Amino acid sequence: MVEKAFKRILLKISGESFLGEKKFGIDSVAVDSISNQIKEVRDLGCQIGIVVGGGNIFRGLSASQFGMERASADYMGMLATVINALALQDALEKMGVFTRVMSAIHMEAVAEPYIRRRAIRHMEKGRVIIFAAGTGNPYFTTDTAAALRAVEVGADVILKGTKVNGIYDGDPMLNTKATMFDSLSYLDVLSKSLKVMDATAISLCMDNNLPIIVFNLNRVGNLKRIVSGEKVGTLVKHSQ
């Protein structure tokens, strides 16, 4: 068995990762690809928690900018993450991976309520936990939910899957000369206003010395490489 660099991880998947080739909704091919990578890591014996976004279906902040009351818009966004969580659960279980969806908003017909000790116990038993509905509170992003859940369950690292290879000094989709950072401190991310995670999430990770690795989830095999100890993406941690 491949030696693991991390025993327990928190994987953050954006809603956009579920789009695949579509402009809206869920692409089953994209979800299956993500699920295959998660299964590979689970098969290494790594304990996995996942926080999913909902931007492929509804984005609360964008809706509030067009006149919708912010709290209502954010709750709608939380419900969108539940839809993505159920889609991911279905794909994983078809591959033989036992999962649990745990929601910060109680909806027992489709998901377990989030209880920290129960989530940890599920992970210890080898089940993949999908955390849905963000923190359950408006005005907080799913990035902050990822940081919060990672700290609560004692994850070794947050792995933030994106569509680019790491953190750059500019938008690599618009600027071909943008340079990727190998590593950054939390303070670098905050002072440079780099669009990695929101400031609340970064501060929470900094306060709890929780490293973040930003990597390209679309490149098949990257997740396994990281868990196996290979250097992939950009590492955010305290400066040495």
Any idea what the CATH number is for the domain that residue 124 is in?
Answer: 3.40.1160.10
| Residues 41/227, Cβ–Cβ less than 8 Å | yes
Residue 3 lies in a domain: no
**In this structure, what token pair is assigned to residue 195?**
């669009």
Q: How confident is the model at residue 21 (pLDDT cuts 50, 70, 90)?
A: confident
| Residues 52/41, Cβ–Cβ less than 8 Å | no
Residues in Cβ contact with 76 at an 8 Å cutoff, skipping those fewer than 6 apart: 58, 60, 63
Residue 2 lies in a domain: no
Residue 214 lies in a domain: yes
Give yes or no for residue 238 having a pLDDT over 80.
Answer: yes
Average pLDDT over the chain, rounded to an integer: 93
pTM given for the model:
0.94
Residue 92 lies in a domain: yes
Domain that holds residue 185: 8-237
What mean pLDDT comes out for the span 156-173? 92
Residue 195 lies in a domain: yes
Residue 52 lies in a domain: yes
Q: What angle do CA 20, 26, 31 make, to 5 degrees?
A: 65
Residue pLDDT, tens place only, 77-91: 999 999 999 999 999
Residue 63 lies in a domain: yes
Residue 1 lies in a domain: no
Total number of domains in the chain: 1
